[in-house]
Structures are given as C-alpha cells and as structure tokens.
Chain A
Amino acid sequence: MTTQIILAGFGGQGILFAGKLLAYAGMLNGKEVSWLPSYGPEMRGGTANCSVIISDTQIASPIIQKPDVLLALNGPSLEKFEDAVVKGGTIIYDSSLIASAKENADVNICGIDATETAIRMDAKTLANMVILGKCIKETNVFTIDQLKDALKKLMPPSKAALYDLNCKVLDAGYEL
C-alpha cells in the first residue's frame, strides 16, 4: 500500500514538522518514506507545503500528483490542492481559518476547528497536531500510539517538556 499525503498552510504553522513526523513514524514502522518540501522565499510568511509518501514498496517519484490525503491549514492551500485529491481520498482542513471546502461526493471531507481547539488547550502553535490527530483517525496510516512514539524520538531534548502537551493535542484532534 502507498499513501500520498500533502500538508499545506502558512509558513510558521508547523507544516514541515508535521510532515516530517509522519515520515519519521513511517520509517520507524518499517515503511519506505519520502518527505519533499516546497522551498524558497515563499517559506517566509507565504504558503508552505510538503509531500509525504509512506509505502510498503520502493518509492518512485517523491512528487505527488494526486494525493490520497490533503491536510490544509489555510484557504489558499486548500484551493490549490483540493481538486487533485483522488477518488476515495481524504481532505482535512482547519475550519477555524477556512470557511468551507468545495463539495465533492468522492472525497471524505472533514473540516475541524484545529486552531481554536489548540488555543483552547493553551497550545496555540499546535493546530498542526490537531490536524495530525484527525488524520490518524480518518486514514489509519498508523495508530495514534505509533505517532506518539515517533514524536518522542523526534522532539529535540530542549523541547521534551512539551511532549505531553503535544500528545494531548494529538488526542484532542483524534477525538474531533
């Protein structure tokens, strides 16, 4: 099985880190993975996105043409990628920041209050984790515990104190 995930939003929303966490969890669970960011000046204040592929077999192109999953944290990102999502795919977007997604009966579309949920939990920078929690629930790429294990290994020691909060936010996203 191969899952192709595009994560997109504003620079500063933790898009690249969230993507890296997915790739890392994939690697720890014996999958082939690739993580490809957009790069350049657009990263500062503009939109940022990354493409993550998690597969049982060797990954050919790391570029995603038709994502199975789109995680969108702002309006422009949703507009840019929503039409590309495959039939039977999933779109999760942050309804705190995006009014609505285009209707599409072939795609599982979930708008969740990611940013507001994060703010309510005193974790305003962790909307990315809310979205990831929801992503785990909707897609079954890994279990939530596998993702938490990966997070523990990936977080730098200087941020270890924030691990528990990140897990709580992941859980909150999973329950939404």
Chain B
Amino acid sequence: MAEKMLMKGNEAMAEAAMRAGCKLFFGYPITPQTEVAAYMAKKMPKIGGLFMQAESEVAAINMVYGAAGAGARVMTSSSSPGISLKSEGISYIAGSDLPCVIVNIVRGGPGLGGIQPAQSDYFQATKGGGHGDYHLVVLAPASVQEMVSLTAEAFDIADTYRMPVMIMGDGMLGQMMEPVEFENLPKREVPEKTWATTGTQMKRKKNIVNSLYIEPDALEKMNNERLERYELVKKNEVKVETVNAENADVVIVAYGVMARVAKTVMQMMEEKGIKVGVVRPITLWPFPTEEIAKVAESAKAFLSVEMSQGQMVEDVRLAVNGKKPVYFYGRNGGVVPSPDEICAEIEKIVGGMK
C-alpha cells in the first residue's frame, strides 16, 4: 500500500498540482489560502517550476491567461474577494477557450467579509462571476484526499475541454489535516495543444488567443461551439456521491465539508429511527440534476444545507422539479451549521409531514 502522509488540505492540493505537471503558479496572498502559495513558493524551484507573487489578483489571473495561452499547465489560487478580482480574467480565459485551474478557498462575504469557512460563492462559481455566457467546471472536494485526486483530475478536464476548472474548498478543508496518498491518481489522455502560442517556428500559421469577435455571427458561432463542449461536459463529467437516499424520509443535499456534517447527522438520526440520506454533489457545475431527480422518485423530502443564505438550493429545486418538497437550512458569515441544528431542522420537516 502506498505510504500515507498527514497533510493540510491546501498543501496537499499544491503538491497534487505539481505532480499533475503544473509548473507555473501565479498568486497573490489572501487568507485562508496562503498555504497553497507558500507551499508552491518552497517547492516549485526544486522541480524547475515557477512560483510568482503577482502585484494583484488581477495581474495574477492575466499571467495565468498568458501562460495558459502559451500551452502551459498553470494554476492560481485565492479566496473569495480575490476571486471577484480575478473574475474579469476568468471570463477572458473562458472566452478564449484556455485550460487552467483556479482554486477558491471560500471565506465569508460579501465585501471583505471574514476568513472563516463559507459556501457563499456558489452563485459566483456556477452561474458566472465574470461577464458573458460561460461556465467553469466546479469541483467541490470534501476531504484532503479528494483535494488531491480532484486537483489531478482538474488539469486533465481543463485540457480535454479547453476550459477553466475551479476547485472550490473552504478554510476548513484547506487548514485541516488528514492522511493522504499520492499514488494511483486519476490520469487521462489529453489532446495536444496545437492552438497554443508557442511561436510559429516558421512552420505553421500563426495562432491567436482571443475572445474578441466584432461580428455578431462570428461571436455566436464561437459561443455555440463552446456550448457544444459544455453539453459534453454535462454528459461526461458529473460526479456525485449518494448515500442511503432511497426511500429516505429526508435527503440532505450538501457539498464539501457540509456533506460530512450531513453524514454525521445521518448517523444521529438513524438512532432516532428517521431515515436520512445524503446526496453530495462533487461537481457543482455540471450539477447532478439527473441523480437528484432520480432520488426524488423515492425520497420524501429534500433539505439543502449550506454555509450560505441559500444558493445551491435553487439548483436542487430545479432538479427536484416540484416532485417533493425542498427545504433549506444554512448559516453564513463563517458559521458552520452544527449537527444538532440540522437534526432539529429534520425533525421539524418529518413532524410536519406526519
């Protein structure tokens, strides 16, 4: 068996990125993602890579744009306010069909907010953030090991579909330590980057990395080609974990660390004779709509539990599509819903159904 290491989520993710062939990292300091940058700064020079602290998040994401356009595996990480600043660049990266990996270790907002764990950037991550019709693949790990495996996969997904991939965690995941191993990580064959601006060497026509199309027809054509790739992503890349959901009294839908709290709730409610299931979206975009629709056939009710004022719950409602009631419970600003609070919420729901 592979040797296990006890590592912080942020550091394990950085290590996984380097092992996935990422040799360029452009960042800007912000709590609580600092360990990612610090780890990269220490290790990148040892593998012939580069860690660069940019003058701003805005500059960092545009450095990512340049490097991704030149065909490199490249990454940046930040936390909520920094991702807002990066959103302009992310829109350009999406519009120019460039692959890269962006990490958001989410903190409470809006504004400067706080630094404790939150999930209040769900809308920003899954519905845009920047301007224009575009999507990121959004991966939501729930353990340190998953931060590693999803990071490895993120680069391959980005290269396969030529699109930016976001890994969305929170300070809790980033700061916590769990045993982790780096053997047997997922790996795919990815297409060659024939479109990259690496210099023509006078052997081919020039490549242009660009998102500007003044003619509406041309822009629509580019956007629609991208839409076709989004459809492929929806078909091929949905990841979800479903536990105990069939015929459940209440199915909790939760992602990241919240899903782990949900599993604790599941165990607690079992002792009280109430069957609780858990659906954990691992990809927030594409959202596991079909899986939730399927669960809605037999489950009696849904409860979206989030560290926000209620964001993912909208996608849950769309997926359930009126078949069963969908409830919401959340805390925000950096407060994590406790198992007791969630249990009380479930008892209310079950009580109301009787």
Contact = CB atoms under 8 A, between A and B. Distances in A.
Note whether A and B contact each other (Cβ less than 8 A): yes
Interface stretch (A57-65, A106-114, A124-132, A141-149): A57-65
A93 interface: no
Given A34-B178, A35-B6, A61-B339, A40 B264 contact: no
Contact of B6 (A20, A36, A61): A20
Number of contact residues on B: which range applies?
20 to 34
A15 interface: no
A24 interface: yes
B261 A27 contact: no
Majority secondary structure, A binding face: mixed
B339 A36 contact: no
Nearest to A53: B178
B4 interface: yes
A24 B8 CA distance: 12
Interface in A31-76: 32-37, 39-40, 59-63, 65
Contacts of B267: 60
A91 interface: no
Interface in B18-43: 31-32
Interface in B328-354: 336, 338-340
B175 interface: yes
A23 B177 contact: yes
A37 B177 CA distance: 9
A60 B177 contact: no
A13 B260 CA distance: 30
B264 A36 contact: no
Contacts of A40: 31-32, 115-116
B172 A62 contact: yes
Nearest to B114: A40
Contact of B32 (A27, A32, A39, A60): A39
Interface string A1-36: 000000000000000000010011001000011111
B138 interface: no
18 contacts: A20-B177, A27-B6, A33-B6, A34-B176, A34-B177, A35-B178, A36-B177, A60-B261, A60-B263, A61-B257, A61-B260, A61-B263, A61-B264, A61-B339, A63-B261, A63-B338, A65-B338, A65-B339
Given A20-B177, A39-B175, A63-B261, 14 more contacts: A24-B6, A32-B179, A33-B179, A34-B178, A36-B176, A40-B31, A40-B32, A40-B115, A59-B260, A61-B261, A61-B339, A62-B172, A62-B176, A65-B339
